[in-house]
Amino acid sequence: MRLVADPSLQRWEEGRTVAGGSPYRILRLTARGSALLDDWLAGNPVTAGSSLAERLIGTGMVHPEHDTAGLGPDDVTVVVPVHGQNPTALLAALAGLRVIVVDDGSPAPIPGAAVRHDTARGPAAARNAGWRLATTPLVAFLDADTLPEPGWLEPLLRHFEAPDVAAAAPRVRSTRGRSALERYERTRSPLDLGPRPGPVLPGSRISYVPTAALLIRTDALAELDGFDETMRFGEDVDLVWRLSARHRARYEPAAIVEHTPRRSWAALLRQRYGYGCSAGPLGRRHGEHVAPVRISLWSVLTWVLIAIGRPRLALVVTGAAAALLTRKLGALGVPASESVKLALHGNLGAARLLADAIGRSWAPLAIPPLLLSKRGRRVLVLVAARHLAEEGELDPVRHCLARLADDAAYGCGVLSGALRERSTTALRPVLTDRGGRSSVPVGGGAA
């Protein structure tokens, strides 16, 4: 195994202070640990069982690269849940692999299906029925409307050289097309988690991976008893979060699987509403993992003061937070200039997080009262305008309108799910800096 640095990695104090990853962390290394990291980043292989390497990988500061894979295609069974469509193109792309097709109550029976449900029982039940027939060490889940690119399996298989990795997920990209919907989904699909690899951890940059495409150890599925069949949406997030509490999972964008987008805007909005509805059940099962925003108390105070027209007081709060952070991180070897940058970037990032929550998860509750005041309407204009700066294949105005509709549908689903569960967990923010805890997790010495 070799290591490559994440773009977030920073080092100071002759390399002994390292920072980065997601959530952002700071570690203080021994002289020997710093020298080891120098060697690894220069391309030298990692000695098996290195606790420092595993810790750095777990934080997302570095990423593993394995030259070979001990497991191969013969060790994989692909499970394809189907409802109403014959996955001819997908099955052709999977030629040579073991494949189990599960017909989840399609109106017309799917030829060659290993299992057929008399009525549609949902994707969780279909996937469970499939993987329980597998006799191989690994199971790959692929939805019927996906199409893997050539060579998609090899980058995923290499991650299983690490015995504690139980799952690896490819990048799921929306199929390129000409319609406005297809071009919108190409850059805004919730299944596409971007071009950067990383560990899959709740509250991190990659907080979940979809099981529209996922490679997972069969014994890990048995340990978890598979998917929760009571969940119509969010069953994949639930599985991944239960898995990450016991094992490691990796996101590997070098492996790419394409996914067909919904056929109409109405279908897309129904999908987003359904995704939002899953937040309530996920909140009941996983608590703060499903919080719409995780933010520093200092940042909340800063932006609330700005919103109510007290910018000078907000500047005082920002300065105080920067001073405290500089003092705290200075003891770990972080330069004062970097601490100030962290404080400023943290506040800017918090503004985006709050805007996302107002325009998305909190939209049905936040927008009506904000419309009642001039200052509130200004906030809403800024919330909507954030979409104009996003990259997309539509023109900025149409992209912005599509995003607003997308967010509103999801937010309505979140509220609906919270009401059904009679719980506010999916709506409550998580405030850091409570009880003296830092919004920047800090690690101690490491060899």
Q: Report pLDDT digits (tens) over 198-207.
A: 999 998 999 9
Residue 70: pLDDT above 60?
A: yes
Q: Which two tokens stand for residue 185?
A: 């989904």
Q: Report pLDDT digits (tens) over 382-438.
A: 999 999 888 889 999 999 999 999 999 999 999 999 999 999 999 999 988 643 333
Least confident of 91-95, 270-274, 328-332: 328-332
Amino acid identity for residue 298 in this structure: W
The confidence score (pLDDT) of residue 331 equals: 87
Residue 8: pLDDT above 80?
A: yes
Residue 205 CB contacts under 8 Å (≥ 6 apart), including other chains: 22, 60, 196, 198
Q: What is the mean pLDDT of residues 141-167?
A: 96
Which is higher by pLDDT, 196 or 433? 196
Q: How many C-beta neighbours within 10 Å does residue 185 have?
A: 26
CA–CA gap between residue 402 and residue 260 (Å, rounded)? 18
Q: Indicate the pLDDT class of residue 49, thresholds 50, 70 and 90.
A: confident
The confidence score (pLDDT) of residue 433 equals: 65
The confidence score (pLDDT) of residue 446 equals: 44
Beta-strand pair 165-174/115-117: unpaired
Where on the phi/psi map is residue 431: left (φ > 0), alpha (ψ -120 to 50), or beta? beta
**Do residues 93 and 148 make contact, with C-beta atoms less than 8 angstroms apart?**
yes
**Residue 3 β-bridge partners:** 64
The confidence score (pLDDT) of residue 432 equals: 81
Q: Report pLDDT digits (tens) over 289-319.
A: 999 999 888 899 999 999 888 999 999 999 9
The confidence score (pLDDT) of residue 47 equals: 85
The confidence score (pLDDT) of residue 153 equals: 97
Q: Indicate the pLDDT class of residue 440, thresholds 50, 70 and 90.
A: very low
**Do residues 325 and 342 make contact, with C-beta atoms less than 8 angstroms apart?**
yes
The mean pLDDT of the chain is 92
Q: What is the mean pLDDT of residues 217-223?
A: 98
Alpha helix segments (H runs only) across 164-264: 180-188, 218-224, 235-244
Task: Please tell me the pTM assigned to this model.
Answer: 0.91
Q: Report pLDDT digits (tens) over 80-98.
A: 999 988 899 999 999 999 9
CA–CA gap between residue 379 and residue 308 (Å, rounded)? 10
Q: How many C-beta neighbours within 10 Å does residue 396 have?
A: 13
Beta-strand pair 76-82/138-142: parallel
Which is higher by pLDDT, 436 or 283? 283
Residue 172: pLDDT above 70?
A: yes
Write out the DSSP string of 280-330.
Answer: HHHHHHHGGGG-S-EEEHHHHHHHHHHHTT-HHHHHHHHHHHHHHHHHHHH
Q: Which of 56, 71, 212 is nearest to 143 (CA)?
A: 212
Q: Indicate the pLDDT class of residue 71, thresholds 50, 70 and 90.
A: very high
The confidence score (pLDDT) of residue 308 equals: 87
**Do residues 353 and 295 make contact, with C-beta atoms less than 8 angstroms apart?**
yes
Give the H or E element holding residue 3.
Answer: strand 2-5
Give the H or E element holding residue 60.
Answer: none
Q: What is the 3-state secondary structure (H, E, C) of 92-121?
A: HHCCCCEEEEEEECCCCCCCCCCEEECCCC
Q: Which domains does the chain have, with CATH numbers?
A: 2-65 (no CATH), 73-261 (3.90.550.10), 294-446 (no CATH)
Q: Which two tokens stand for residue 205?
A: 């940059």
CA–CA gap between residue 338 and residue 316 (Å, rounded)? 19
